[in-house]
Structure 1
Amino acid sequence: MSVKQGSGTIGSVLSFFDNLTVMGIRVSLFLFNLGLALIVFGVVFSRYLIPGSPMVWIEEMSVLLALWLYFIGSAHCTRNNSHIGGGFIDIWLKGKKLRIVKAIAIVIDFIIVIIFEILSIKYFIYLLGSNKSSLYLRMNKSVWEASMVVGFGLMAIFLIHHFYVAIKDILNKG
């Protein structure tokens, strides 16, 4: 999905930010996966080799990392258009009709993502102003909710780009 080079200054800037975003997503996915793997290893190690070691914060940390992993991973799948799809519409429709239906599907996806983005932002703001914190880590619950805000925000941006490409495809191929 990367922005094509050579479309002037704007294209170069968009390409730079696209590459920067992709690098950030890949690095964060790697770090969240690594962190989750180390936590699971630590739990197994402490539970069976160090009896009586209280590591109650582990469950909260694993949920936190898993949430960030899930929503950043969802954004990555949206960017690469690699989510699961049925493909049965490809059998029924061909050409311009298929491209139009796919563009409509992108709009529907975008509307759903925006609804969830608005809800997650509202809840994030609520949690930010509250004293709600996790039991053991004592972190504000907004850190958990921020994963949704970032994930849905990135998904919305990538869906806008997919829609732009779909419309361009409809207009160019007729």
Structure 2
Amino acid sequence: MTKELLHTDSLDDVVGAAPIRPVPEAGRLASRVHGGLAPLFVAERGLAWLMRATMFAAMIALGLLMAAQVFMRYVISAPFLGIEELAPLLALWVYFLGMAYCSRERDHIEGGMMTLVIQNPPTLLAIRLFGSIAALGAVLIFLWFAWDFTAFNYGLGRKSTYMRLPKVIWDLSMITGLTLMAFYGALQIVAETRALIALKGPRK
């Protein structure tokens, strides 16, 4: 669609060097960027499948809960207030797992202005590496605060009002999502560092 709007056969001259993903694309042979980590990536594919399955199940359950709440509230006039707690719970897990999966696929929203100004691949990659390091640092800070908040709620033994579920079930969505983001952020840094070394190395 983008190619059609720009009337170009290839976007390579428009966007410059393509961003490097933290994990290799399915079916693609190991490269100098992702090579040597095959066992890790095999385990990661299982983790990615679990993330997709969890998000799918949570989204289906969330939709069914919303339909059930509308039916109970407006058809039989007997709303179940527990749904008001379960819906945010499911939404939080979908949100934070989706955030982590977005990090895996490198599908974040980005302006891309840098690729229009900088044409030198090593310089562009170095800037992206700096951005990845800064992003990982921010994720680790948020993860520390999320862990502190979860520990606080766990220490108090807080429970939800109607379902009497431990509040840490909500909090663990943050811990899980941010931990996975940090994992993929670290893989991103490793891949970009390897790519930068390969670009600056001697060319044959």
| TM-score normalised per structure 2 | 0.79
For 1:130 and 1:140, the matched residues in 2 are separated by: 10
Aligned residues: 171
1:109-142 Cα shifts (integer Å, max 9, x gaps) = 0000000001111111121121211101111111
Structure label with greater radius of gyration = 2
Aligned twin of 1:48: 74
- Paired residues for 1:46-125 under 5 Å: 46-51=72-77, 53-94=78-119, 95-125=121-151
Match of 1:147 in 2: 173
Give the number of the structure with larger relative contact order, counting CA–CA contacts within 8 Å between residues 6 or more apart. 2
SS in 2 for 1:91: helix
> Mind listing any 5+ residue stretches in structure 1 that lack a counterpart?
none
Q: Report how far residue 17 of structure 1 moved.
A: 1.2
Distance 1:11 1:155 in 2: 18
Residue in 1 that maps onto 2:13: none
Contact 2:69–2:79 (8 Å) recurs in 1? no
- Shift of the alpha carbon at 1:11? 3.3
Who is 1:166 aligned against? 192
Q: For residue 130 of structure 1, what is the aligned residue in structure 2?
A: 156
Change (3 A) 1:31 1:59: same
Q: Structure 1 pair 133/152, CA: closer, same or farther in 2 (3 Å)? A: same
Q: What do you get for the CA RMSD once the two structures are aligned?
A: 1.6
Distance 2:91 2:98 in 1: 10
Residue deviations 1:26-75, cap 9 Å, x none? 00110110111111111111122212x13001111001111111000000
TM-score (normalizing by structure 1): 0.92
Taking the aligned partners of 1:6 and 1:76, their CA distance within structure 2 comes to: 21
CA contact (8 A) 2:139 2:178 kept: yes
- Structure 1 runs of 4+ aligned residues shifted over 3 Å read 1-7
Query: Which 5+ residue runs of structure 2 have no aligned equivalent?
Result: 1-21
